[in-house]
Amino acid sequence: MNSIYGYTKEQLEDYFLSKGEKKFKALQVFEWLYVHKNSDVDSWSNLKKELREEIKKDFSFEVPKIIREERDTLTRKYLFELQDGEHIESVVMFHDYGISICVSSQVGCNMGCAFCESGRRKKVRNLEAYELVTQILEIENNLKERISSVVIMGIGEPLDNYDNVLNFIRIINDAKGLAIGIRHITLSTSGLVPKIYQLMQEKIQINLAVSLHAPNDEIRNKIMKVNQVYNISQLMRAIKDYIAVTSRRVTIEYVMLKEINDSKKCALELANLLHGLNIYVNLIPYNETSHINFSKSDAKTIKEFAKVLKEQGINVTIRKEFGGKISAACGQLRSKEVEE
Ligand code: SAH
Ligand code: SF4
């Protein structure tokens, strides 16, 4: 049985139309689920009893369970158990402007980036749309606070789970869903070029972040297997086209790996690659992990790298390091539970 939390409003409208009902029932259901956060169908007073029975028969309402929570001053990490016993993590970050959440999009990841903990564990399966939606719903219930922005930067490659991720975005963005502003939703991809083309046709104004991490194919081939399929020139063309079609600025993510991609030469080469584009670069201090032999660049090297980019007229920020003892800044979630 399909979980009701995986349905967009349009899909629920189709459901009600197929039952000979008016499509605005979908709106009422969305309000119960996401505004009142009430999944007790019997109490949905504006729907008649027979219809409530049908709904109970046709949908499941189960949500993944939070089985562990770790707290730090500015972050909280949640471990979820899914119905089939798999585990995923989400991280919440408290900012002065609100609360953001980093969600996982797959169980494991097949992209195999050399520096990434998530990729050490092969993809087991995609997450269903409802498993994405309920990460937010459950954590909002846990925090008793509203989450205002979402980054799809946890475990998994979101564009390798395209349809579910897109439905997830539609559900949380719906004004009668979780009403998370479209410009407060960021999707990070390792660079699946055909999917970037598909995404630009969707007419959704999300923020796109691309994990570039290297200024040339030689380095990128070594650290990101995906580059052997879609190289930098193909990726840059897709980014240019994305900007032209959507008129949106794209974020270029660049993880700073000591003596791999952090030299002044790399910075100049990167600036050259990005000149004149409506982008900004987010330098990510690498989170060292116990299993992988990459080291983080020194703070000074990162600052110098940023300075070179700035001098070349490239907008750049250095990502704030969250995590502390949780050691799970978004994008580097560890599969602790699996290893234990
Ligand atoms: N698969 C997508 C989204 C999830 S990873 C992607 O690769 O873009 C989110 C970001 O975290 C990516 O930029 C990824 O390269 C980065 N990342 C992975 N491991 C990291 C680590 N140990 N420290 C810092 N950033 C890391
Ligand atoms: Fe997958 Fe992203 Fe990690 Fe690469 S960096 S292995 S794409 S989660």
The verdict on the CB of residue 130 being under 6 Å from ligand 1 is no
What confidence category does residue 337 fall into, taking pLDDT thresholds of 50, 70 and 90? very low
- The number of beta carbons lying within 10 Å of the beta carbon of residue 142 is 13
pLDDT at 244 over 70: yes
The predicted-structure confidence for 61-112, as pLDDT tens digits, reads as follows 989 999 999 888 888 999 999 999 999 889 999 999 999 999 999 998 999 9
The verdict on the CB of residue 118 being under 6 Å from ligand 2 is yes
- Of the candidates 10, 31, 330, 339, the residue annotated as catalytic is 330
Among 30-34, 36-40, 70-74, 244-248, the range scoring the smallest mean pLDDT is: 70-74
109 part of the active site: no
For residues 16 and 122, the model is more confident at 16
Sorted by where each begins, the domain ranges of the chain are 2-60, 65-339
Give the angle 196-251-248 at the CA atoms, nearest 5°.
70
Tokens in use for 63? 């949500």
CA 331–ligand 1 middle distance (angstroms): 4
Mean pLDDT in the chain? 92
Strands 87-95 and 98-102: antiparallel
Q: What percent of the chain has pLDDT over 90?
A: 84
- Of the candidates 13, 89, 157, 253, the residue annotated as catalytic is 89
pLDDT at 90: 92
CA 253–ligand 1 middle distance (angstroms): 9
DSSP state of 43: G
- pTM for the model stands at 0.94
Tokens in use for 140? 């909002």
CA 18–ligand 2 middle distance (angstroms): 40
Mean pLDDT of 146-171: 96
Nearest CA residue ID for atom 8, ligand 2 = 156
pLDDT at 339: 43
pLDDT at 121: 73
CA 102–ligand 1 middle distance (angstroms): 11
What confidence category does residue 151 fall into, taking pLDDT thresholds of 50, 70 and 90? very high
pLDDT at 42: 97
The predicted-structure confidence for 50-73, as pLDDT tens digits, reads as follows 999 999 999 999 899 999 998 888
User: Cα–Cα distances in Å, from 130 out to 15, 288, 305?
Assistant: 17, 32, 41
* 2-60: in CATH 1.10.150.530: yes
pLDDT at 153: 92
Q: What is the fold of 65-339?
A: TIM Barrel (3.20.20)
The verdict on the CB of residue 190 being under 6 Å from ligand 1 is yes
The amino acid that residue 42 corresponds to is D
The predicted-structure confidence for 286-328, as pLDDT tens digits, reads as follows 988 767 789 999 999 999 999 999 999 999 999 877 655 554 5
Mean pLDDT of 246-260: 97
The verdict on the CB of residue 160 being under 6 Å from ligand 1 is no
- The number of beta carbons lying within 10 Å of the beta carbon of residue 43 is 10
Residues 164, 129 contacting (CB under 8 angstroms): yes
Nearest CA residue ID for atom 6, ligand 2 = 119
Closest to 262 in 3D by CA, of 302, 234, 230: 302
89 part of the active site: yes
Phi then psi dihedrals of residue 249, to 5 deg: -75, 140
Site to probe by mutation for ligand 2, drawn from 88, 91, 118 as the one with most ligand atoms within 8 Å of Cβ, is 118
For residues 338 and 324, the model is more confident at 324
pLDDT at 261 over 90: yes
pLDDT at 293: 85
The predicted-structure confidence for 179-213, as pLDDT tens digits, reads as follows 999 999 999 999 999 999 999 999 899 999 999 99
